[in-house]
Amino acid sequence: MISEELQELLLHYCEPENDLLKHIDRETHLKVLMPRMISGHYQGRVLSFLSKLISPKRILEIGTFTGYATLCLAEGLTDEGLIYTLDVNAELEDMVRNNFAKSPLEHKIKYLIGDAQQSLQNLKAETFDLVFIDADKKNNGTYYDLVFDQVRPGGLIIVDNVLWSGKIVKKAQDKDTQNIHLFNDKVNNDQRVEKLILPVRDGLFVIRKK
- pLDDT tens digits, one per residue of 199-209: 999 999 999 99
What is the average per-residue pLDDT within 23-38? 96
Q: Is residue 2 predicted with pLDDT exceeding 80?
A: no
C-alpha distances in Å from residue 7, one per residue of 1, 54, 151, 196, 203:
10, 26, 33, 21, 14
What pLDDT, on the 0 to 100 scale, is given for residue 194? Answer: 98
Q: What is the pTM of this model?
A: 0.96
Per-residue pLDDT band at 19 (split at 50, 70, 90):
very high
Q: Is residue 1 predicted with pLDDT exceeding 80?
A: no
What pLDDT, on the 0 to 100 scale, is given for residue 170? Answer: 84
What pLDDT, on the 0 to 100 scale, is given for residue 124? Answer: 96
Question: Which of 89, 111, 88, 87 is closest to 99 using CA atoms?
Answer: 111
What is the average per-residue pLDDT within 141-154? 98
* Whole-number percent of the chain with pLDDT over 70: 100
Q: E strands of the chain, at which residues?
A: 58-62, 82-87, 109-113, 128-133, 151-160, 193-198, 204-209
Residue 172 to residue 125: CA distance in whole angstroms:
40
**Average pLDDT value over all residues in the chain:** 96
What is the average per-residue pLDDT within 1-12? 89
Q: Is residue 162 predicted with pLDDT exceeding 90?
A: yes
What pLDDT, on the 0 to 100 scale, is given for residue 46? Answer: 98
Q: Is residue 12 predicted with pLDDT exceeding 90?
A: yes
What pLDDT, on the 0 to 100 scale, is given for residue 156? Answer: 98
What is the average per-residue pLDDT within 159-172? 90
What pLDDT, on the 0 to 100 scale, is given for residue 200? Answer: 92
